[in-house]
Amino acid sequence: MRQSELFTKTERNAPKEEVSLNAQLLERAGFIYKNSAGVYSFLPLGWRVMRKIQAIIREEMDAIGGQEVLMAALHDKKYLKATGRWDVDVVFKVAEGAGKEPSFNLSWTHEEIMAEIATKYVSSYKDLPFAAYQIQAKFRNEPRAKSGLLRGREFLMKDMYSFHASEEDLMKFYHGMAVPAYKKVFGRCGLQAFVTVAAGGDFTISNTHEFQVASDIGEDTIYVCGQCGYAENKEISKLKDGEKCPQCGGIIKEEKAIEVGNIFPLGTKYSEAFNLSFDDEKGEKKYVVMGSYGIGVSRLMGVIVEKYNDANGIVWPESVAPFRAHLLALNGADGEYIYKTLQTAGVEVLYDERVMTAGEKFAGAYLIGIPWRLVVSPKIAENKVEIKRRGEKESKVVDVGEAVKMIMFSART
């Protein structure tokens, strides 16, 4: 894409009212726009990143048999009334007209909706198991919406629901499929997420598991083993800093962390509420056993920015970067040839052909944080280009063909 056609521009200064680093960098670089506290729009660069993160999630959910759906975002109050969740604090309620009592709520999670849908298709053990997922906007009236994409009042979530004939089958899917798939998702996004044992809560049959990324700005505290990565949320843990890990004898450390995902063995609470049952092999009626699996899709983007940045801006991992290469044409140099060459080679490239100073172009490129920066200028010999990785100091002048190869065959995140 030609940068002169991109409708957003980078800004020199951070927005005054943003306190969180991810929001400051993402707004300055033109990835997101803040509509109100905890409510953001994704702009072209930001949406490209969002789509890459979503593609990773879709691939991994599809790989474990997840079937993608898109459920309604406007929910009749009968759903939450059925499970006693209508009066949960964070639920945004909607009235059908002025002066009327709220009779709907905006989607905040979908256990009820999905359970009811399943009643139409599940009647026998032969209809089980299956899992359905979606990537959709969720609305929660969060009291502390000051951390940019980390805690939105509107945010994108991937939520999956699985349906099983037995608790045993649920736990097989939960530990055997969902946990490994989640680890892959976060790993591919450049994040190390600890599988953390967490509290069960009202609607689960056992402990739940959170996926926690260590970070000083995290709202959670976890105890994590430096050797095997075993982790427990402080809320339920009896472990202490410096103690021996119960799993491997390594040393336990206390860390602040951000929850990027959460999985729940739900049991039959929701199937009971919606009479979601099936006939087992002996013809006996049983309630379906459910699991639910969330990933904070937009929060992930915020966490990546919190982890991958330096004094000059964002340093995107290659797997989620908005473009692979950023080509800057300085001081009237012509970059058309290399722009076309990169495009022909299938490299996603942002081509800065705007008329402006080299200093401004460099500052913008640092801020946006695309993994490979290519520079053509009158000072560099013809058919050569200066190539540099974002986050590294060294640059090299190489042939155009060599630069294309370096970009195409780098598999680093």
Q: How far is the CB of 295 from ligand ATP (least distance, A)?
A: 6
- Residue partners of 2: CB distance under 8 A and separation at least 6: 351, 353
Minimum distance from residue 279 beta carbon to ligand ATP (Å): 32
What's the closest the beta carbon of residue 77 comes to ligand ATP, in angstroms?
19
Report the candidate in 184, 179, 205, 138 with the shortest Cα–Cα distance to residue 263: 179
* 180 preceded by a cis bond (ω within 30 of 0): no
Kindly report the number of other CB atoms within 10 A of residue 158's CB atom: 24
Residue among 59 and 235 whose Cβ is closer to ligand ATP: 235
Give me the sign of the Cα torsion angle 6, 7, 11, 16: negative
Task: Name the minimum Å distance from CB 138 to ligand ATP.
Answer: 7
Residue number, nearest CB to ligand ATP = 296
Question: Site residues (CB under 6 A) for ligand ATP?
Answer: 109, 140, 142, 151-152, 155, 157, 259-262, 294, 296, 298-299
Shorter beta-carbon distance to ligand ATP: residue 302 or 364: 302
How far is Cα 350 from Cα 353, in angstroms, rounded to an integer? 9
Q: Between residues 24 and 262, which has the closer beta carbon with respect to ligand ATP?
A: 262
Residues 6 or more apart whose Cβ sits within 8 Å of residue 202? none
CB of 258 vs ligand ATP, minimal distance in Å:
8
Going by C-alpha positions, the residue among 289, 286, 284 that lies closest to residue 269 is 289
Residue 338 belongs to what H/E stretch?
Answer: helix 336-344
Interatomic CA distance for residues 127 and 280, integer angstroms? 10
**Residue number with CB closer to ligand ATP (88 or 406):** 88
Q: Which residue number, 18 or 259, has a Cβ lying nearer to ligand ATP?
A: 259
Q: Nearest approach, Cβ of 147 to ligand ATP (angstroms)?
A: 9
C-beta of 300 vs 365, nearer to ligand ATP:
300
